[in-house]
Structure 1
Amino acid sequence: MNEPEVIRAMLGRPPSDPRTIAVIGLSSNPDKPSNYVPSYMQQHGYRIIPVNPLVESVLGERSFASLADLPTKPDVVNVFRLPKFIPAIVDEMLELGFKNLWVQQGIIHREAALKAEAGGIWVVMDRCIMVEHRFSDLS
């Protein structure tokens, strides 16, 4: 978990290697990290797919109720939900064959991370994707 090479691989190298990021819990409120972090990533060449059953669209993209509803397989699933929701997200990712899980800073569920990794999912947890991008040579 949190290996530098995994972080770099998940971030890719936009625009030559753009990544699709499904953001679970993406908010329509621009003052929340769950909005401005994905907005930052979108501004840096990443395609953002909102996953939030409570909003119709956000950041100019249609929102989906769950990972199973997505029209395409994302490169990364980025999570802005409480720790108690992480196990179900991992289960859904395992069922769908999604391979990269990024759980935002301050959100930790070690058991779910271990289960994800045992199932072949790469995990970054308790790290902000925006901060990692800003301080990498990718920004």
Structure 2
Amino acid sequence: MPNQNPDCELPDRDGSPEEIRALLGQHKVVAVVGLSSDERKPSYRVAAYLQSAGYRIVPIHPKATEILGMRAFPSLRDVPAEIGIEIVDLFRRPEALPAHVEEAIDVGARVVWFQEGIVNNEAAAWAAEAGLTVVQNRCMLKEHKML
């Protein structure tokens, strides 16, 4: 059935359970775009959980200098190449995703992950065309807990 609400886009690409299991097992460096220093925010809770599960978290925040004990960077392009970003986890509004997908492509990320409630099929298609794995509208914390 076609999506009846143009403001509520349904994902064209959201990753199969097998694909998600494989990428969470293979990739361990996660840049979290929109990571808040507020412990009550979902971005903080997801990143803290992933960090406790052994993932290296790279906070991306335009004003913060440190989050979760890790140096924060204003943008993906500001992260030193030797860190080797593998997954870009996006806690941003759908309309902001194209710019972040462009950055993810530029820094050589392997995966772009649009958190639960976030869908942008145009940005997802662009990322997929560039060779990135795309996951939309899924929570990394919830998916990891199902491993």
TM-score of the aligned structures, taking structure 1 as reference length: 0.90
Residue 146 of structure 2 is aligned to residue 135 of structure 1: yes
Question: What pairs with 1:1-139 in structure 2 (closer than 5 Å)?
Answer: 1=13, 2-12=15-25, 19-71=28-80, 72-136=83-147
Alpha-carbon distance in 2 for matches of 1:47, 1:98: 14
Q: Bigger CA drift: 119-128 or 3-12?
A: 3-12
What's the CA shift for 1:6? 2.4
Q: Is the 8 A contact 2:32 2:91 kept in 1?
A: yes
What's the CA shift for 1:59? 0.3
Query: What is the number of residues matched between the two proteins?
Result: 132
Gaps of 5+ in 1: none
What's the CA shift for 1:18? 6.7
Divergent runs of 4+, >3 A: none
Alpha-carbon distance in 1 for matches of 2:36, 2:121: 25
The one-letter amino acid of 1:11's match is: L
Q: Is the 8 A contact 1:10 1:75 kept in 2?
A: no
Largest Rg, 1 or 2? 2
What's the CA shift for 1:22? 0.5
Alignment RMSD: 1.3
Alpha-carbon distance in 2 for matches of 1:10, 1:29: 28
Q: Is the 8 A contact 2:86 2:108 kept in 1?
A: no
Gaps of 5+ in 2: 1-12
What's the CA shift for 1:65? 0.7
TM-score of the aligned structures, taking structure 2 as reference length: 0.85
Q: Which residue of 1 aligns with 2:10?
A: none
The one-letter amino acid of 1:83's match is: P
